[in-house]
Amino acid sequence: MMAKIIDGKAFAARVREQVAAHVARLKEENGLVPGLAVVLVGEDPASQVYVGAKGKQTVEVGMNSYEHKLSADTDEATLLSLIDKLNNDPAVHGILVQLPLPGHLDSDLVINSINPAKDVDGFHISNVGLLGTGQKAMVPCTPLGCLMMLRDHHGSLSGMNAVVVGRSNIVGKPMAQLLLGDSCTVTIAHSRTKDLTAVCRGADILVAAVGRPEMITGDMVKPGATVIDVGINRIERDGKTKLVGDVDFASASAVAGAITPVPGGVGPMTIACLLANTLTAACRANGLAEPKGLTA
């Protein structure tokens, strides 16, 4: 039987509606408008597209968007000075420094200079530590989006076997922490994993975040499993450029119980969760109740 398609585009639209409704209430009842500052260094075309989309959606849900575009040769002191200014600006509740940064800048140093309470990417070492110890953290947007879709599909995830393929700091590791937090039995697999097929076939929940086009095929999927495809890969096929995930959709969807497509699965959830995190940060900064269903 063909798997149920988990529609991330529709889900993200619902998340944005929830955020917009909460933002409208904050404005009316507390005179508070959440603000998100996005910092882009250089002219990387893909980053420019992301930053443009973030700014547009931030304004659409009623929040303030502050864009800071710096030239590719910006030095570290200038960037750190801007972040310091944003850290101390009460109108800014979320700060995002678009990655990758140009090679002469130390990404870890830059990210760790952001006030952790404003770190809406959840990349600061404090937030990584808080998440790993089950404390209230800012949670990375892409894994948070995956968690929301899994909770929506399954209700409780307790006791399920989850396999995360990929060990990046941005997706694989925080995804594993979130699944552990929801009482899954979690395995992190990667390029050196022995018999990846057997490991993946043990998964009730299979999250693919390896960055290799269509690597996870149907024979690696347990019948009825839920497959979350985080990959976004551009490939050439039949003379055309095509967007594919880390999962071979055709073969995997014939075996899985539910699956996210690419495009239209995890992708749209990332910015929706960034908006949710900005709202959460604004609520926490002002001692107000956090939005329900939009945090880990």
Binding site for ligand GUN (CB under 6 A): 96-99, 121, 141, 270
Minimum distance from CB of 98 to ligand GUN (Å)?
5
Q: How far is CA 142 from CA 173, 262, 268, in A?
A: 12, 14, 9
Catalytic residue among 121, 182, 204, 229: 121
Catalytic (active site) residue 69: no
3-class state of residue 284 by DSSP: helix
Nearest CB to ligand GUN, comparing residues 47 and 251: 47
> What's 58-109 look like in SS3?
HHHCCCEEEEEEECCCCCHHHHHHHHHHHHCCCCCCEEEECCCCCCCCCHHH
Catalytic (active site) residue 54: yes
Nearest CB to ligand GUN, comparing residues 49 and 59: 49
| Beta-bridge mates of residue 69 | 40
Minimum distance from CB of 221 to ligand GUN (Å)?
26
| C-beta of residue 150 within 8 angstroms of C-beta of residue 103 | no
Minimum distance from CB of 110 to ligand GUN (Å)?
10
Minimum distance from CB of 90 to ligand GUN (Å)?
22
Residue with the two structure tokens 């404005």: 27
Nearest CB to ligand GUN, comparing residues 99 and 199: 99
Sign of CA dihedral 170, 171, 173, 177: positive
Nearest CB to ligand GUN, comparing residues 98 and 113: 98
Catalytic residue among 18, 57, 98, 177: 98
3-class state of residue 195 by DSSP: coil
Catalytic residue among 54, 118, 173, 222: 54
Residue nearest to ligand GUN (CB): 99
Q: How far is C-alpha 147 from the geometric centre of its chain's CA atoms?
A: 10
Residues annotated as catalytic are 54, 98, 121
